Chains A and B, each alone.
Chain A
Amino acid sequence: NAGVMQNPRHLVRRRGQEARLRCSPMKGHSHVYWYRQLPEEGLKFMVYLQKENIIDESGMPKERFSAEFPKEGPSILRIQQVVRGDSAAYFCASSPIQTDTIYFGEGSWLTVV
C-alpha cells in the first residue's frame, strides 16, 4: 500500500512564475491536509480538504495560493506569481476520516530564485 505521494519532490521557479504541487493520498483516504515549513521554522497548517470540498483554509495566505482536491486525481496546491518568501517545504498529509492520525508525504521543496 503506497504511502502519501507528493510530486515534484523539488521544484525551482523564478519569481513571478506559478508553482503546482501535487499530492496523492494513501489509498482509501479522503481527507488531505497541506502544511508549509519555512526554513528553520515549524510546520504551519495551510488547508484541510475533503473530496471536492475545502473544509478549513484558515492557514492559506489570502492571495496567490489556492488548493483543490477533485473527485478524481490528486490534491493540488497552486501558488501563483511566486516570490522568494514562498521558498519552503510543502508537506501533504492524509487520513481516512477526520482524525488525529495523519500520514505525511515526503514533501515538496520549492525554491524561488
Chain B
Amino acid sequence: RKEVEQDPGPFNVPEGATVAFNCTYSNSASQSFFWYRQDCRKEPKLLMSVYSSGNEDGRFTAQLNRASQYISLLIRDSKLSDSATYLCVVNFGNEKLTFGTGTRLTIIP
C-alpha cells in the first residue's frame, strides 16, 4: 500500500462547480498535512496546510480526519485558473515530506 494515496483523476469540472478530492495516508502517527498545487512542468507550490479543526482559505477548504486517516480538499466556485494537479502531502515525522501522486483537475469553460 502506498504511504499517501490519491485518485489520479482526471477530474473534468465545469467552471463555477464545486469539486472535492480525498487522500488517504498509511501511518496513524503522521504529524502534519498539506495540499500543494503543481502546474504542468512547474514546481509544486504550497496551497494550504491541513489542521484537525479544518481550515478555509477563500474558496478552498481542507479537512483532516485522523480516525479514518484521510484528508480532503474542497474547491468552491471553481475558476479556469484552478486547473492543475493537486498533491496531498504528509509529514510522517521523519524529517521529510511524502507526496501523493496527485489528482489532475481541469476546469472546463
Kindly state the interface size class of chain B when it binds its partner: 20 to 34
A83 at the interface (CB under 8 A from B): no
Chain A residues near B102: list those with CB within 8 A: 42
Task: Contact check, A104 vs B91: say whether CB atoms are below 8 A apart.
Answer: no
Chain B residues near A17: list those with CB within 8 A: none
Within the complex, which residue of B34, B49, B97, B101 is in contact with A45, where a contact is CB–CB below 8 Å? B97
Residues facing A in B19-40 (CB within 8 A) are: 32, 34
Task: Contact check, A106 vs B99: say whether CB atoms are below 8 A apart.
Answer: no
Q: How far is the CA of A35 from the CA of B41 in the complex (A)?
A: 14
A residues at B contact (CB < 8 Å): 33, 35, 41-45, 48, 55-56, 59, 89, 91, 98, 100-102, 104-107, 109
Question: Could you list some 11 contacts between A and B, CB below 8 A?
Answer: A33-B96, A41-B101, A42-B99, A42-B102, A43-B99, A56-B96, A91-B44, A100-B91, A102-B97, A104-B43, A105-B43
